Structure 1
Amino acid sequence: MKICFLGGGNMTAAIAGGLARQGGWQLHIADRSAEKRERLARELGAATAETLPALTAADVLVLAVKPQDMAAACAAIETNGALVLSVAAGLSVAALSRMLGGTRRIVRVMPNTPAQIGLGISGMFAEPKTSVADHDLADRIMRAAGQTVWLADEAQMHALTGISGSGPAYVFYLMNALFEAAQAQGFDPETAKRLVSATFQGAAELAVQTDADFAQLQKNVTSKGGTTHEAVETFKAHKVADAIAAGVEACVARSQEMARQADAV
């Protein structure tokens, strides 16, 4: 069995990297960039080429190209019954099936960038008729890059994109805001980055290791009339939570729009 990646970008590097660390997988990566091919071959020990090798029903094809490039990229592909995993945002199983000559042996995946260090979480959807073996194989592949969550309804992929798929960007946005605030308070950039990174890392790990919900964890740090209380009340006055919710809604709406555009092709 070969695991073949179409596209040699960051997500391919993350997933294939996790599989390479596990060992026992036959990896092939197709990308037009000679520089990317050389780097991935060197770092992962994967076979690389400008085009995909011939596929069989025993193989897995991971589609890791931009959504707007997917139709052109799939035009010359003969899946020959291979299991297809797509990490392209907004492209439905139906749209992918049309691009791939009618195959329905497709699993949609929405990973996120912490997959690069094995700490990602991937939302996954497969049609109910998907075999248990295909379901389990897709799950094994994506668990090489972190956790997995299976969705019963494909429409939920849009909401998942708005939460975890794009979520790391929201976290980095907040981290950068706190980083800039730290410098405004007189810290040098190196110290500011250490303070912010350790604060987010520690808070996230505390949330993982406790049964308390996020709201309670925030209350545990917030004494009425204290310093943290002043900051939180200021956030509320500026409607920070509302702005985050609006951002998520905008992300979900864009994902839905991309899906409609793809379905119209």
Structure 2
Amino acid sequence: MTTVGIIGATGWLGSALGAGLLSRGLLAPHDLVLLNRSGPRPDYHGYAGVAWASDVADLVARCDTVVVSVRPEDWAGLSLRAGGRLVLSFMAGVGAGRLASCGGRIVRAMPNAAAEIGASYSPFWADAAVTDADRGVVRRLLSAIGTTDELAAETDIDLMTALPGSGAAYPALMAVAMADFMRAHGMSEEIAWRAAEAAVCGGAQLLAGRIAEAPKLLAAYRDYRGTTAAGLDTAEAAGFGRAVAAALAAATETARRMGAE
């Protein structure tokens, strides 16, 4: 692994990446260079030997690979000059055309909030200048926060921003609706949330590692023709599938529009 710099090292995703690299032994503390708005910290996830850069130029000078983990609106103000470096961007809506101004070999990845627990699915796309060795570095970096796949086209990143990039947003939306229903029917706050957790978190564990079997699971519930089958039929009739598709389409279009600005 090369020397890695993280711009936005204490933000949500940057912090998760730094912690994962160190805790999994993928990078020695002295090979990790960090930069954030608030300045150096005496302790970084329990490691005191990491290096802190004074500014973006200092970080670039000390690294072979630069990870950009800041908000898209902050990109223009970075004035990143990373000629000869591998640049891995976590920013939604900042396309390769804009990233190319930094002079580096560009990779775009889309992690999600599950990076905090090492369970993010973080697919990536690489521009034509990225080498096989670079791809190996990217895969090792992303392994610190979960799993990855390489995408064939940059436009696929917008789709990944909409779906895996949303993290827990849609499960949380479902959990709120379920808890609201339980409270509306007289359940206490505590029990309502426990019931929603059982459905959203506990139930989902049945699909972990075999998500492609979801249609078979739904068919089994329907074949039983019980209470859950009635609920599934009503949800579909009310437009559940169409609502999910519309939500993902809106998120994808927003990512594309951000990239065009």
Q: Which TM-score bucket, shorter chain as reference? A: 0.7 to 0.9
Post-superposition offset of 1:59? 1.6
Aligned to 2:44, what secondary structure does the other structure show? helix
Question: Unmatched 5+ residue regions in structure 1?
Answer: none
Aligned to 1:38, what secondary structure does the other structure show? coil
Deviations 1:137-177, CA, capped at 9 Å, x for gaps: 01100110001021011111111111111253112111221
Question: CA contact under 8 A between 1:112 and 1:121: conserved in structure 2?
Answer: yes
Q: How does 1:118-157 map to 2 (within 5 A)?
A: 118-157=118-157
Alignment match, 1:21:
23
Post-superposition offset of 1:49? 4.5
Post-superposition offset of 1:183? 2.9
Cα distance, 1:223–1:30 mapped onto 2, change above 3 Å: same
Question: CA contact under 8 A between 2:33 and 2:59: conserved in structure 1?
Answer: no
CA distance in 1, matches of 2:47, 2:177: 35
CA distance in 2, matches of 1:160, 1:110: 7
Tell whether 2:51 aligns with 1:51: no
Alignment match, 2:3:
2
Post-superposition offset of 1:188? 3.2
Alignment match, 2:38:
33
Tell whether 2:73 aligns with 1:68: yes
Post-superposition offset of 1:233? 2.1
Q: Which amino acid aligns with 2:231?
A: A
Deviations 1:191-241, CA, capped at 9 Å, x for gaps: 333333343333333223447621221222334542112211221232111
Aligned to 1:175, what secondary structure does the other structure show? helix
Post-superposition offset of 1:3? 1.4
Tell whether 2:84 aligns with 1:81: yes
Question: CA contact under 8 A between 1:15 and 1:144: conserved in structure 2?
Answer: yes
- The count of corresponding residues between Structure 1 and Structure 2 is 254
Question: CA contact under 8 A between 2:13 and 2:116: conserved in structure 1?
Answer: yes
CA distance in 2, matches of 1:143, 1:47: 22
Cα distance, 1:122–1:31 mapped onto 2, change above 3 Å: same
Question: CA contact under 8 A between 2:111 and 2:123: conserved in structure 1?
Answer: yes
Cα distance, 1:113–1:40 mapped onto 2, change above 3 Å: farther
CA distance in 2, matches of 1:109, 1:199: 31
Question: CA contact under 8 A between 1:90 and 1:258: conserved in structure 2?
Answer: yes
Alignment match, 1:253:
253
Q: How does 1:106-255 map to 2 (within 5 A)?
A: 106-210=106-210, 213-223=213-223, 225-255=225-255
TM-score normalised by length of structure 1 = 0.86
Deviations 1:35-65, CA, capped at 9 Å, x for gaps: xx43863545443345243435962111011
CA distance in 1, matches of 2:237, 2:74: 43
Aligned to 2:70, what secondary structure does the other structure show? coil
Question: CA contact under 8 A between 2:4 and 2:63: conserved in structure 1?
Answer: no
Question: CA contact under 8 A between 1:18 and 1:144: conserved in structure 2?
Answer: yes
Deviations 1:124-146, CA, capped at 9 Å, x for gaps: 00024421110010110011000
With 161-170 and 150-159 compared, the bigger mean Cα shift is at 161-170
Cα distance, 1:50–1:58 mapped onto 2, change above 3 Å: closer
CA distance in 2, matches of 1:47, 1:193: 43
